[in-house]
Structure 1
Amino acid sequence: MNSVTYKNRTIEQGELKYTGKAKEVYTTNDPDILWIHYLDQATAKNGKEKEQIDGKGQLNSAISHLLFDYLTQQNIKNHYLLSISKTDELVQALEILPIEVVTRNYASGHFVSKFQVTPMKKLTPIVQEFYYKSDALDDPFINDSQILALGYAVADELIYLRQEAQQINQLLSHLFSTINIQLIDFKLEFGRTASGSIILADELSPDNMRLVDLTTGDSLDKDIFREHKGDMTVGYHEVLDRLSHVK
């Protein structure tokens, strides 16, 4: 049985709770803590395309660790607790909201085809969108009134999600700009704590954000895999290397 010391306590890895597109989530002997294992797996088209990519789990874990640490230093509350290996971490157990919060700084992906706009068009104001988390339904767009009517969140929580996503966008955009990377768009997930507070969850990696080299315009994210542009880990390695040198 795998175990680790956290805050002078022994945390033991428990049963597999569920397997996502890129991570396995395990229970622990503490009901308030989950054990996350990053997989060497890449997916596209909402999981319809899958491929094993050696080393991808380590890259996503390391990048996510650095970005959560940065946001924690900027007083953004999140579920991240401790990195315990190259592919594993401890996080706070949450009731995950069935809502994905997408922020778009520039037009890319299906936003381009949906509205027939020029790729990389700067969006003013920045676009925020909600999507319902459901692989079976291909994560459909959902608006505020639908969220309220279905009871997935209340009005004050939607305001908070928008404000928090906006602040995170400002922080991450600034951080990436210092390492010559442009944050095109990204997806966030949030969850409720036992006390009812909503905090940032999931991961922060090139799997759920579009990142472009400001000099070359090259993709440094999962678009490399989606668009069959080559070895996606090259872009991920570049992101990790630049973040590792941020002072």
Structure 2
Amino acid sequence: MGEHGGVGGGVRLTVDELAARAGVTVRTVRFYGTKGLLPPPELGPRRVGLYGAAHLDRLELIEELQRQGLTLAAIERYLARLPEDSTPLDLAIHRALVASWTPETPEEVTRAQLERRAGRGLTEGQVERLAAMGALERTRDPEVFRVDPGLLPLGVRILDVPIPLETLLAARAVVLEHSRATARELQRLFRETVWKPYRESEPAPAELARMRALTDHIQPMVAQALVTAFQRSLREELGEELSRESDQESGLESGLEPG
């Protein structure tokens, strides 16, 4: 059917053309529409639904968020926080920012492939420990696992450390809780001090590449800052713990001294 000139000369796409541009199925486009994630199309000649650039960018943003692992409910909340007057450029910037922070994609591997990566045979107990650390997930097939390429090597190194499974689960919960809180606060800070002024300056489309480069530089700095802060906090906690133990021992010794 081809592309259509819309109001103001903007390009308008049929649902088939929109799906092809975004690399999804027509069924997916319509599903997002029924969920309210994608605005309804304009009605063109013969009441054919026509989609514009904003639809395409929003659809690509939804797909990027899904690749990052967000549920539809989480995506709906994310989109609800976007300004109502978001332009196609705004959505493209959001997509670039999301993509630059996306972790490594989980991979599905067989048990044999998993053990080759681990460099050792794995018992069921060890697989459970890796799952508790978030290094892998089980699938419906008991011989196929979904692994996190970034966490698996670390998880394998920890396997021989005598830490109870319950402790690993509790530690993971603590890390997730505080890392999510940190991520929310960093997102708020970035949105208010970088994104909002940038948007209000009415940037040209070419500025999108500069913003993407900025986030690429920020990511490793933030990650390193978090690791450094954690290490410093851990040293301080250990130092305080040793100091308390030393004080207690001194108190016991003084109590044993003859009067």
* Larger Rg, first or second structure (1 or 2): 2
| Structure with a larger share of its residues in helix | 2
| Structure with a larger share of its residues in strand | 1
TM-score computed with the length of structure 1 as normaliser: 0.27
TM-score computed with the length of structure 2 as normaliser: 0.26
Compare relative contact order (CA 8 Å, sep 6+) and give the higher one, 1 or 2: 1
